[in-house]
């Protein structure tokens, strides 16, 4: 068993982020030697673990008021069947991986005794359209709509480099069964990966980056990020797949996170169409404004945002 999996099994009430922190700092030892999260344990190994505080099982943590206010402010639209959120970047959709609260846990705390469930998911860094169902029947109908072939999910992504190829479909399989630096990553895997299809359409070209509208036909983990890399253009600010040097440049420019936003969902629902639209987050709008001011002479002809 991997060391990290062993520790997570025995320290269930310790945040996952803290478990990884004590391993990487050298406080966890195997046979008196330092170890990495991916180190494999064998029978007879002696594992030394520093003192850690585990949350009592009978403790019921409550989300802070500031987090509840943030979730409430993210609601775009609500009816008897569903809620549409413009999920902020940095807010996970559910708890885990060292987080006590994601959006759904906060929402349940705000509405005790009422049914709320995620219809789909977004990465923690990704902002934009997120649907939550308010009944089991609505959940089934909405998920069926998302699975329909006519469903369309559109994202806005700023990618590094000038995209010169025009509209392009990337159809390459992806697999999550890869490891890099002790953590799981997604890779193109033509042998064992699952099919993933993304349509990339350039909207605006700047000196060293391009604003894209991306439609995904499948919903694989990190699909847009890995497909963009496969096409030779990392998503701006992506600290998992892009180079560290480029992420540092973007932070200095004012982009403090990955530029990926779930802009629009269109899907069939109850013999009609459901359209959900989330305005681009203010921090991303500010980055685009700076790019336009910096390079007013560059090509902005592809399409309107």
Q: Active-site positions?
A: 123
Partner residues linked to 77 by β-bridges? 84
Strands of the chain (E only): list them.
29-30, 33-34, 47-48, 75-78, 82-87, 117-118, 127-133, 152-160, 168-171, 174-180, 183-188, 197-205, 209-216, 260-269, 272-277
For 185, what's the count of Cα atoms within 13 Å in the CB-facing half-sphere?
A: 15
Locate 45 and state its tokens: 């190994």
Locate 8 and state its tokens: 């997570």
Q: Please give the Cα distance from 264 to 278 (Å, whole number).
A: 6
Q: Please give the Cα distance from 304 to 252 (Å, whole number).
A: 27
Among 127, 87, 80, which Cα is nearest to 107's? Answer: 87
> Is beta strand 127-133 parallel, antiparallel or unpaired with respect to 260-269?
parallel
Q: Provide the Cα torsion 21, 103, 283, 204; round to 10°.
A: 100
Q: Which residues contact 34 (CB under 8 A, 6 or more apart)?
A: 26
Q: Which residues contact 86 (CB under 8 A, 6 or more apart)?
A: 74, 76, 127, 128, 129, 130, 278, 279, 281
CA 88 vs CA 22, 67, 125, 268, 305: distances in Å: 29, 11, 8, 26, 20
């Amino acid at each position: 068993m991997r060391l990290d999996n062993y520790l997570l099994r025995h320290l269930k009430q310790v945040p996952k982020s803290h478990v990884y922190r004590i391993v990487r700092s050298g406080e966890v030892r195997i046979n008196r030697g330092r170890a990495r999260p991916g180190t494999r344990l064998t029978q007879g190994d002696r594992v030394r673990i520093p003192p850690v505080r585990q949350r009592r099982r009978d403790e019921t943590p409550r989300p802070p008021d500031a987090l509840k206010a943030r979730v409430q402010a993210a609601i775009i639209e609500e009816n008897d069947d569903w809620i549409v959120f413009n999920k902020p970047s940095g807010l996970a959709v559910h708890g885990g991986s060292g987080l006590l609260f994601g959006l759904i846990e906060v929402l349940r705390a705000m509405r005790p005794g009422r049914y709320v469930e995620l219809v789909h998911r977004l990465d923690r860094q990704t902002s934009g359209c997120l649907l939550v169902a308010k009944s089991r029947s609505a959940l089934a109908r909405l998920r069926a709509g998302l699975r329909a072939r006519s469903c369309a999910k559109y994202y806005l992504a700023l990618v590094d480099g000038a995209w010169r190829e025009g509209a392009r479909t990337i159809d390459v399989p992806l697999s999550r069964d890869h490891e890099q630096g002790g953590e799981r990553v997604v890779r193109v895997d033509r042998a064992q990966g699952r099919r993933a299809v993304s349509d990339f359409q350039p909207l605006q070209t700047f000196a060293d980056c391009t604003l894209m509208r991306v439609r995904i036909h499948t919903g694989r983990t990190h699909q847009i990020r890995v497909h963009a890399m496969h096409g030779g253009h990392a998503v701006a600010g992506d600290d998992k797949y892009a180079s560290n040097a480029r992420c540092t440049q973007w932070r200095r420019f004012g982009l403090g996170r990955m530029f990926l936003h779930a802009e629009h969902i269109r899907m069939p629902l109850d013999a009609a169409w459901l359209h959900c639209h989330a305005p681009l987050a203010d921090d991303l709008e500010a980055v685009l404004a700076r790019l336009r001011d910096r390079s007013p002479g560059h090509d902005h002809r592809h399409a309107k945002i």
